[in-house]
Amino acid sequence: MIRAAALWLALALPAGAEVIVAGLSQAQVQITANFSGEEILVFGAVRRDAPPPDGPPLEVVIAVEGPAVPLVVRRKDRVWGIWVNAEAVTIDSAPSFYAVASTGPLARVLSETENLRHQITIPRAIRAIGITSEAMDAPGFVDALIRLREREGRYLLDEAGVTLTDETLFRADVALPSNLTEGTYRVRLFLTRGGRVIDAQERVIAVRKEGLERFIFNLAQDQPLLYGLISLVLAAVAGWGASAAFRLVRT
């Protein structure tokens, strides 16, 4: 039976094929009151049945994508000395978090055809269909969104972030910021040669609020009226406390 299994594996793996075998340092992230971010280790190896082929070197690209949501991007203009909202475009889907790490410059590691097929780079991960009819210079709104989220630490690009040893072992550290959105995060791994994707694999990370944060989130979602009343009471108590402290200090 062991020989049969080995024979089946040999037949299942085409000659010269290279396959990803990967894992994560953790598959769950808990957001608590003192959560300040998390670092995820993505590691793995390349399984092959023969020595690496001659030609372009093996490359690795890793993309970590948070839950995607639609949003509206607005541009402010100054009218009579006042900044007001002017043009706006609707983005169909934009990841709340997106990080790309690779073994080298993406222009070398990944062809545009493969990038279009797998939607790997940050601009390709944003779906903005039909925005050209909503505003002049519509692509500029997408660029502005990317710049804003890069400053917030939500969009990351590290073209030397993956370490590959002997074209076999690889690892990358991906920093998740403190302002994470709850949900399922996809971790996609790609092997490329000469810009062409030769294998891909996907893992997931579950990000959840825990403790008091989870209670407040559930309360706001399930019982918004009670949540609003509690918020008003807490605000009133805080205001009264601040006023009493101010009077005490003055006396």
Q: Provide the residue ranges of all domains of the chain, joining segments of one domain with +.
A: 13-209, 211-251
Q: What is the pLDDT of residue 6?
A: 41
Q: What is the pLDDT of residue 245?
A: 67
192-210 exposure pattern, b = at least 16 Cβ within 10 A, e = fewer: bbebebbeeeebebebebe
Beta strand pairing call for 82-95 and 38-48: unpaired
Q: What is the pLDDT of residue 7?
A: 39
Q: What is the pLDDT of residue 34?
A: 81
Task: Measure the CA–CA gap between 103 and 121, rounded to whole angstroms.
Answer: 14
Residue type at position 246: F
Q: What is the pLDDT of residue 131?
A: 74
Q: What is the pLDDT of residue 90?
A: 84
Residue tagged 């010269």 (tokens): 16
Four-way CATH pick for 13-209: 1.20.1440.230, 3.40.50.2000, 3.40.50.1820, 2.60.40.3880: 2.60.40.3880
User: What string of pLDDT tens digits covers the 251 residues of the chain?
Assistant: 434 444 344 445 555 589 999 999 999 998 887 888 889 999 999 998 888 888 899 999 999 999 998 988 877 666 676 766 677 788 889 999 999 999 999 999 999 999 999 999 999 999 888 776 666 777 888 898 999 999 999 999 999 999 999 999 999 999 999 888 889 999 999 999 999 999 999 999 999 876 555 556 555 566 676 656 666 776 776 777 666 666 666 66
φ, ψ of residue 178 to 5 degrees: the values are -75, -20
Cβ contact 162:31 at 8 Å: no
CA 248 vs CA 158, 235, 240, 241, 251: distances in Å: 54, 20, 12, 11, 5
